[in-house]
């Protein structure tokens, strides 16, 4: 039998981005012996890349802001498909989480009178994003890590061991969750460097593994975004919701090819940048949807006045929610009015003085200088849509972040519901802190509630997990020609980009599903060379299984939803349909009895319709009835105060 390193914890947090670190801090602070496991270097999570800021209605720049306004903006951005309880908790708790970060040592940019500064962002009615230049994610991770170290130092003083209560396992990938009689019993993984296996025995696991963007060819996402947490949850028996909603950020780099997809932060537009087509026209005025007409300026003069006088002017249409801007860019390029490399122009050079651009957007300045030889203080950037964020994820209880599997929790990008069909910029960093903390709390309360009645991993399941992980070395014998993981990854990315991308059609998605089915079979025949010591081909072979499974969820749900809403645009069903607003799509895995390992016993994804819970009347009352009628059915609005008289 393969040698396996064993550890026992109360709570195992998988992922060391904002959500994972905040969950670990909470679980440890509540007395849980906690592990943080991350496949990247500790400190190198995707959260580090967040640029624009963290949304919280602190009202520092405009006192009219408050949680109710933030809640309304979030629901509007998600086209009312959001889990309203999550949106409520998020809007109410985000300011406290930002202030708490400063108690951990974060230092946000300031207003002239010394308060935390807040910037404008798409879909947010008031300046709301607390920021540190355009490197906010770095500051967030830096301070959360500092807090982890502070907790470890406290443990050292008390127990003489830094890792007595909180231990970090960096560059360690989890490949399987262990479930015993329907409850979480632990997690199985390997050290990336040595390839040696580890078993975490734990009654509670928090998934905080981020997104799925690496299944797309053009993406802003980093290498670790292979949908691992989504797939782990599915295999453990949990459901994923909203998987059809994938956000394409409107502004990724389009040139040179080696950096295609890298993000150009929305702060460029928040700070005054405008989008132009090849004819020099500010085309976003042509794409303001009916539902947003009251809030967005229809001419350049008013739009430009808004930056100095937001109370008496409507917002520039460049700050519409991301899905609207991405579709507009797509349409301009399709109409032949694109830039030389297939995007459009984003111009900040003619809008702000050069030093101001360098002060406010230092990373963007360097990114374009270094990667594209473009000086953004003098010339416009070329930009186009890039796969950025997945709104779909593990279905969780809003208050505790618990999934349907006892002991399994999820927070951050891997969790679904909060953002509905489309996330507003800045709402992810706040989501990580609000629900990371709640997941840590939820996991701690769960562990307390079960007392000594802890499930233990079954040895045969542990052996199966090891066997499954070793399969790419050919120990199981392939049932077809050997496949190369890099070739399959490229094929997968092409399929998702071309057939389940920003604009979708049923015939293309059906084609995608056939190809995914084929890829799913071929992934089982992936063979890698060499041995387990640092072997990137093997790592990719294991990630690919997750990528294909999660891509199938996206494609199946997208085919099922016959309307366009947020991050799901159907060429064949271009309208939003109120009948669909109260339908969620949930993906589950079918289980069969035969098969060697847990993974072998999975038959395929099925998509189920779930009714969306009705919004609480006091929250419904925060909206004008006229606005809600664009989204809701008449019977759903019976509880609105204007209807009740």
Is there binding between residue 34 and ligand FAD (CB under 6 A)?
no
Residue 501 contacts ligand FAD per CB under 6 A:
no
Binding status of residue 19 toward ligand FAD by CB under 6 A: yes
Pairwise CA distance, residues 565 & 579, whole Å: 12
Whether residue 144 contacts residue 87, with contact meaning beta carbons closer than 8 Å, is answered with no
Is 385 a binding residue for ligand FAD by CB under 6 A? The answer is: no
Applying CB under 6 A, among 136, 277, 377, 597 the residue interacting with ligand FAD is 136
Tokens of 123: 């879909």
Under the binding rule (CB under 6 A), the answer on residue 50 touching ligand FAD is yes
Give me the least distance between CB of 441 and ligand FAD, in Å please.
Answer: 16
13 makes contact with ligand FAD (CB under 6 A) = no
Residue whose structure tokens are 């967005």: 296
Nearest-CB residue to ligand FAD? 17
- Binding segment for ligand FAD (CB under 6 A), chosen from 10-18, 288-296, 394-402, 598-606, is 10-18
DSSP string, 257-280: GGGTT-B--THHHHTT-EEE-TT-
314 tagged catalytic: no
Residue 37 in contact with ligand FAD, rule: CB under 6 A? yes
- In the complex, the smallest distance separating the C-beta of residue 213 from ligand FAD, rounded to whole angstroms, is 7
**Catalytic: which of 322, 423, 561, 570?**
322
Q: What does DSSP assign to residue 130?
A: E
Binding ligand FAD by CB under 6 A: which of 10, 32, 35, 47?
Answer: 47
Residues in 427-456 that interact with ligand FAD by CB under 6 A: 427-429, 432
Q: If binding is defined by CB under 6 A, does position 361 make contact with ligand FAD?
A: no
- Min dist CB 574 to ligand FAD, Å, is 28
Give yes or no for a contact between 229 and 261, defined as CB atoms under 8 angstroms apart.
Answer: no
Contact range with ligand FAD by CB under 6 A, out of 31-39, 293-301, 526-534, 551-559: 31-39
Measured CA to CA, the distance from residue 284 to residue 277 in angstroms comes to 10
Where does residue 435 rank: exposed (0-12), middle (13-18), buried (19+ CB within 10 A)? Answer: buried
Judged by CB under 6 A, the residue of 201, 228, 318, 636 near ligand FAD is 228
Per the CB < 8 A criterion, the answer to whether 72 and 46 are in contact is no
Binding mask 157-196 for ligand FAD (x = CB under 6 A): ----------------xx----------------------
Determine if 59 is a binding residue for ligand FAD (CB under 6 A).
Answer: no
Give yes or no for a contact between 468 and 176, defined as CB atoms under 8 angstroms apart.
yes
Contact 258, 329 (CB under 8 A): no
The full DSSP string for 542-610 is HHHHHHHHHHHHHHHHHHH--S-BTTB-BSSS-S--HHHHTEEEEEEEEE-S--SSTTTTEEEEEEEEE
How far is residue 362 from each of residues 268, 286, 369, 498, measured CA to CA in Å?
A: 11, 31, 11, 34
Residue 132 CB, nearest approach to ligand FAD (Å) = 10
Please report whether residue 97 would count as binding ligand FAD according to CB under 6 A. no
Shortest Å, Cβ 41 to ligand FAD: 8
Identify which of residues 359 and 610 has a Cβ nearer to ligand FAD in the complex. Answer: 359
Residue 15 binds ligand FAD, judged by CB under 6 A: yes
Q: What angle do CA 49, 51, 56 make, to 5 degrees?
A: 120
Question: Strand 381-390 and strand 393-394: pairing?
Answer: unpaired
Question: With contact defined as beta carbons under 8 Å apart, do 172 and 191 qualify?
Answer: yes
Q: How far is the CB of 227 from ligand FAD (least distance, A)?
A: 8
Q: Is 429 helix (H, G, I), strand (E, B) or coil?
A: helix
| Minimum CB distance to ligand FAD smaller for 206 or for 637 | 206
Minimal distance, residue 430 CB to ligand FAD, in Å? 7
Closer to ligand FAD at the Cβ: 15 or 186? 15
Nearest to 11 by CA among 396, 447, 434: 447
**Residues in contact with ligand FAD, shown as a per-residue x/- string from 390 to 429 under the rule CB under 6 A:** ----------------------xxx----------xxxxx
Q: State the nearest-atom distance from the C-beta of 331 to ligand FAD, in Å.
A: 24
**Which of residues 18, 237, 272, 457 is near ligand FAD by CB under 6 A?**
18
Residues near 449 by beta carbon (within 8 Å), at least 6 away in sequence:
none
Instruction: Pick the closer one to ligand FAD by CB: 214 or 556.
Output: 214
User: Edge-to-edge, what's the strand order for the sheet holding 172-180?
Assistant: 4-8, 197-201, 183-191, 172-180
Q: What is the DSSP code (8-state) at residue 425?
A: T
Residue 46 near ligand FAD by CB under 6 A:
yes
209 binds ligand FAD (CB under 6 A): yes
Residue from the set 52, 343, 385, 457 that interacts with ligand FAD by CB under 6 A: 52
From the list 12, 13, 16, 605, which residue makes contact with ligand FAD (rule: CB under 6 A)? 16
Q: Which of 35, 263, 391, 637 binds ligand FAD (CB under 6 A)?
A: 263
Rounded Cα distance between 39 and 546, Å, is: 14
CA 43/CA 535 separation, integer angstroms: 22
| Burial of residue 293, with CB atoms counted within 10 A of its CB: 0-12 exposed, 13-18 middle, 19 or more buried | exposed
The binding site for ligand FAD (CB under 6 A) comprises 14-20, 37-40, 45-47, 49-54, 136-137, 173-174, 208-210, 220-221, 224, 228, 263, 389, 412-414, 425-429, 432
User: Which residues are marked as active site?
Assistant: 322
């Amino acid at each position: 039998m393969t040698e396996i390193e064993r550890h026992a914890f109360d709570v195992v947090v998988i992922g060391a981005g904002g959500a994972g670190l905040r969950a670990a801090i909470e679980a440890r602070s509540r007395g849980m012996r906690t592990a943080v496991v991350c496949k990247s270097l500790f400190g190198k999570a995707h959260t580090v890349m967040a640029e624009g800021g963290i949304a919280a209605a602190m009202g520092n720049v405009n006192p009219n802001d408050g949680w109710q306004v933030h809640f309304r903006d979030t629901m509007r951005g998600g086209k009312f498909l959001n889990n309203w309880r999550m949106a409520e908790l998020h809007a109410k708790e985000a300011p406290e989480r930002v202030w708490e970060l400063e108690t951990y040592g974060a230092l946000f940019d300031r207003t002239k009178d010394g308060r935390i500064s807040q910037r404008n962002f798409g879909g947010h009615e008031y300046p709301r994003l607390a920021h540190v230049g355009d490197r906010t994610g770095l500051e967030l991770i830096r301070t959360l890590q500092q807090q982890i170290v502070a907790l470890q130092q406290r443990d050292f003083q008390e127990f003489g061991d830094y890792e007595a209560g909180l231990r970090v396992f960096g560059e360690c990938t989890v490949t399987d969750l262990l479930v015993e009689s329907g409850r979480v019993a632990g997690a199985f993984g390997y050290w990336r460097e040595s390839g040696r296996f580890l078993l975490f025995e734990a009654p509670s696991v928090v998934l905080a593994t981020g997104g799925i963007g690496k299944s797309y060819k053009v993406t802003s996402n980093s290498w670790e975004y292979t949908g691992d947490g989504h797939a782990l949850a599915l295999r453990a028996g949990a459901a994923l919701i909203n998987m059809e909603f994938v956000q394409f950020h409107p502004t990724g780099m389009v040139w040179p090819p080696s950096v295609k997809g890298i993000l150009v932060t929305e702060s460029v537009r928040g700070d005054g940048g405008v989008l132009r087509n090849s004819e020099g026209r500010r085309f976003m005025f042509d794409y303001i949807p009916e539902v947003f007409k009251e809030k967005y300026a229809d001419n350049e003069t008013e739009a430009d006045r808004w930056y100095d006088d937001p109370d008496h002017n409507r917002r520039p249409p460049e700050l519409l929610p991301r899905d609207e801007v991405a579709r507009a860019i797509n349409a301009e390029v399709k109409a032949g009015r694109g830039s030389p490399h297939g995007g459009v122009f984003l111009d900040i050079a003619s809008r702000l003085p050069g030093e101001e651009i360098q002060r406010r957007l230092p990373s963007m300045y360097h990114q374009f200088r270094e990667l594209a030889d473009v000086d953004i203080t003098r010339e416009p950037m070329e930009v186009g849509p890039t796969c950025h964020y997945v709104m779909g994820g593990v279905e969780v209880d809003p208050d505790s972040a618990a999934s349907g599997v006892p002991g399994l929790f999820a927070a951050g990008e891997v969790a679904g519901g909060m953002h509905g069909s489309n996330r507003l910029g800045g709402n992810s960093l706040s989501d990580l802190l609000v629900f990371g903390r709640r997941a840590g709390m939820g996991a701690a309360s769960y562990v307390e509630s079960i007392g000594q009645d802890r499930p233990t991993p079954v040895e045969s399941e542990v052996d199966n997990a090891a066997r499954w992980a070793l399969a790419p070395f050919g120990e199981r014998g392939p049932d077809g020609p050997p496949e190369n993981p890099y070739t399959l990854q490229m094929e997968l990315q092409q399929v998702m980009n071309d057939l389940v991308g920003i604009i979708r059609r049923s015939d293309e998605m059906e084609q995608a599903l056939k190809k995914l089915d084929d890829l799913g079979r071929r992934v089982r025949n992936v063979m890698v060379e060499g041995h387990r010591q640092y072997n990137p081909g093997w790592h990719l072979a294991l990630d690919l299984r997750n990528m294909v499974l999660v891509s199938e969820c996206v494609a199946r749900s997208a085919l099922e939803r016959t309307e366009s809403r947020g991050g799901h645009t159907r060429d064949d069903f271009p309208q939003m349909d109120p009948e669909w607003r109260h339908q969620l799509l949930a993906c589950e895995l079918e289980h069969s009895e035969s098969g060697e390992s847990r993974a072998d016993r999975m038959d395929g994804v099925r998509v189920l319709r779930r009714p969306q819970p009705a919004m609480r009347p006091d929250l419904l009352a925060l909206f004008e009835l006229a606005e809600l009628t664009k989204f809701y059915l008449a019977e759903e609005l019976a509880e609105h105060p204007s209807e009740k008289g």
